[in-house]
Structures are given as structure tokens and as C-alpha cells.
Structure 1
């Protein structure tokens, strides 16, 4: 509803500016300025899942009864996922893995291993395309459904959780999710481990501001993730911060 009002207001503003320009009552640059401001606004709203603008996302829960955080991993399953599973086992920690459909097909045994070790899996679309922000709602719907089908076929799970690639949530994604019914899991700590080479910087970004109920975003397809995770788990233990799965942190069902 709010987005419709924004679009209507934008259309009225542009039309008014054009008419004023046509009757030589206003220069043309305000028209361009209005369009630029609108484009920037939509970009901000669409690329920040934490804003909860287009859909409700579960990003953190500071009111949780225990001093715990939740770990989440994107873009697997991958060969590196096995190292991460072993480290999590050592510290008796459980996490949520948002998996790409085509990678589930490539690594079916690793996908099943994630589930068998007591972790939960969520939908991260089939292809994780960089064109996510430009896809139509029907294509996004197919991306989500195809990932669900592969997960059910290989892991015998009907995934209820979804994380949008790159955190992009726009009206087209909203329409697709309204049909699938997935719950969106976001994050509030993002150390940019997929683009930062320094493990020290990544770890510092996580630990300098970690609080009760936080959700940490990491990537299990990155080679540095395993050693970073091990150091992180040591620090969390020293600070007496526990770890729970995202479904428990937010009291929602991981599967249908």
C-alpha cells in the first residue's frame, strides 16, 4: 500500500514538473532530480532486507530469553561446507544454510549431510542470478519453486525459509513470496566475507558489535569461512554467548 502511494506521488510529481516545464514555468532539471531521487529511494528499499518495507523479514530478536545469536550460511552446498559442519560439531552449534538449487544438484550428499547433522536448510533460489533485481515475478516464483523441488527430492524437506540473493526484495519478489508463503530470514550482521580477503577484518566486523538475538551472515562457499568460524566460536564461548538455529530464535517452522 505504501509503495503504491510512493509510485502515485512520484507519477504526479513528474507530471506536474513536465507541465510546468512545458508552460515555461519551471526549468527541466527538477524533473530529472525527482526521477533521480525516486530511483535512489527504490534502490535503497529493494537492497536492504532489514528495512522490512516490501515483506517482513526476521533480522534479529534482541528480546530472546537467552544470550544467544544465530549463524547463517549462504551459497552452498559446497566442498567447504563439510569443513564448516565439522567445526560446528566440535562446538555443538547448529545453524541455518540457505542453499542454491543448482548447487544442491551438484552436491546432493553434502546437502543431505547438512540436514543429517541437525542443521536446517532454506531456499536461496535455484540459480542465484546477479540479475535478481531485474527478474519478473513469474521468473522469481519459478526460481523459488525449482529450488524447493530439488530440496524435497534430494533431502526430503519442504523448505519454509527463504533468503533473497544479495538481500534484494522488491515488489516482484513480494508477489512471488505471497504465492509460496515462505518466511524471509534476513540478518543484522554482515561482515562482507564474500568480498573481503582479510579474515581479521571479517572477524572484527562480526565481534565488535555482536549482541543478543543477532543473526550473522556468512558464506559456506568461501575458503576463509572455516577458520573465521572457528575463531568466532571461541570468542562467543569466551563471552558466554550461545548459538541457536534461526527457527528457534524466531519461533517459526523451518519446514512445511
Structure 2
């Protein structure tokens, strides 16, 4: 065997071992941060809504408030950045400044601000849904940056609205499309977050194309104690959400939990009353 062939085989072997180690390290750690449900014997569910904040959230909030239910909203950073933050915060982060806003942009900022305030002040929770809502395979650096900046925005809206200092480790992350690949765990750790919230994902994001009957059937057939339902901030939610709530209550599922951690202080009692920790721990 000549030296060139020998080094080629050695190099290939080393690369193969590295790939095996890399995949084992990240995939085996997957269970340490992914959560799919509450480990509980109680009839409790978690309603979560992705892709906001946006106008559809007002319709969803009205339904939730009418039923005295709280939920978790996984917000996209680029939407949340339209919130009117304090002058002090925006001066410290010039990349967020809204220079020479058009009338339309100004109205959108006012609208987003109102929506976020209503989400928080009515006792709901906000999680991190990345900044640009894209596919992050081979974009680990971008994912880390996006998680960090969205964490920063979430922390500020909690502070400005509730006077609460929430840490990155207390903010759940939901990856767009529930994607998972080697490297997500590393990005999560670098951003300071503790876990990835998954759950059951139906087809409500297809709205009318899926239809009320199909959306309801999907959620109903996957109902179990502690389930996390992955829903979306879409106008069509007003068509199926009241029916889902009615079904859940008919099945004696009258408790609805959020991701609010009990050790996070708040003057709003409903935050702690609806914490998942009242029912059990988050598990895969």
C-alpha cells in the first residue's frame, strides 16, 4: 500500500469517526431539552399559538378571554421588533430604531404594541419562535444570533409591561416547523435558553384548505393528559378554536396551563395559577 493511499484511508477514517461523534453528541442530548407534554395525571392541556404578534391574536385573545383561558404565544422576533419600546431601550439598541416611519409603519407599531400588551396583561405567556422564522440547517450561527435578539426583545416587553425580569433560561423556544437537527442543542445553549417546546402540530396553518372538521379531528384524536397543542396565530382560528374549547370541556379538560415558571415573580396571580408546574413537569 503506497503512502498516498494510506493517508487517504486514514483521513477518511478520522472524518467518519468525527461525524459519528458529532451526531451522537447532539442527537443523544436531544432528550435533555425537548419537551412535548406535561407529565401529569390531571386533565390539563396547553394551547400555544405561533408566528405572531399580529392582528389575528386579537381574535384569539377575545376567544380566550371569553372562556377565561390562558395560553402561550411563541412570537417571531421580526414581528415583535415592531413593538414601541421605551426611548431608553431603543437608544441602547439603534438597530431597532424606526427612523422616518411612514404613517402605515407607525400604525403597525401602535397595533403590535397594543397586541403584545393585551397578551401579557391578560395573563398569557410569550415564548421565542426565532427572529426570521426560517430553516436553520447549516445556519447555526444565524440561529444563535436570532434566538439571542428575540430573547432580548421578550425580556424587554416583560419588563416594560409587567415589571418582571425574565431570564433567557426561563423563555421556551419553539423552532419553526418543529425542525430539529444536530446543532440545535448547541445553539440553544449558546443563546441561554433551557428547552425546546414541541407538542402536537396539526394543519391549522392551512386554514380553509384544511377546514374546521379536519383541524378539530386532528386535535381531538391526539388529546391526552398534559398535551401541548401547537396552533397558529391565524384569522381562521376564530372558526375552530371555540369548538375545540367546547370539545375539551365536554371531555372534562377544564384546565389550561402556560409555560410561566412559578419561581418568576409577578403581581398578576393568574400567571402562577396557570403555570404548568401546578400539574407536573415538562417531559419529552
Measure the CA separation in 2 of the matches of 1:165 and 1:202: 19
For each residue in 1:131-163, what CA deviation from the matched residue of structure 2 results, as whole angstroms up to 9, or x when unmatched? 322312x22111011112222333426352111
142, 162, 180: which is aligned to 1:169? 180
- Does the CA-based 8 Å contact 1:54-1:170 persist in structure 2? no
Match of residue 135 from structure 1: 139
Deviation at 1:209, TM superposition (A): 2.6
Match of residue 30 from structure 1: none
For each residue in 1:157-177, what CA deviation from the matched residue of structure 2 results, as whole angstroms up to 9, or x when unmatched? 635211111112223221121
44, 55, 71: which is aligned to 1:95? 71
| TM-score (norm. length: structure 1) | 0.72
- Does the CA-based 8 Å contact 1:56-1:184 persist in structure 2? yes
- Does the CA-based 8 Å contact 1:54-1:169 persist in structure 2? no
113, 116, 120: which is aligned to 2:118? 113
Measure the CA separation in 1 of the matches of 2:54 and 2:67: 21
Match of residue 59 from structure 1: 36
How well do the aligned residues superpose, as a CA RMSD in angstroms? 2.9
Structure 1 residue ranges without an equivalent (≥5): 1-10, 16-37
226, 236, 242: which is aligned to 2:248? 236
Match of residue 28 from structure 1: none
Deviation at 1:185, TM superposition (A): 3.9
Measure the CA separation in 1 of the matches of 2:136 and 2:32: 16
Does the alignment pair 1:213 with 2:218?
no
Change (3 A) 1:237 1:135: same
Change (3 A) 1:110 1:104: same
Match of residue 150 from structure 2: 147
Measure the CA separation in 1 of the matches of 2:48 and 2:75: 11
Change (3 A) 1:67 1:186: same
Instruction: Provide the aligned length of Structure 1 versus Structure 2.
Output: 210
Partner of 1:71, secondary structure, is strand
Does the alignment pair 1:201 with 2:210?
no
Partner of 2:224, secondary structure, is coil
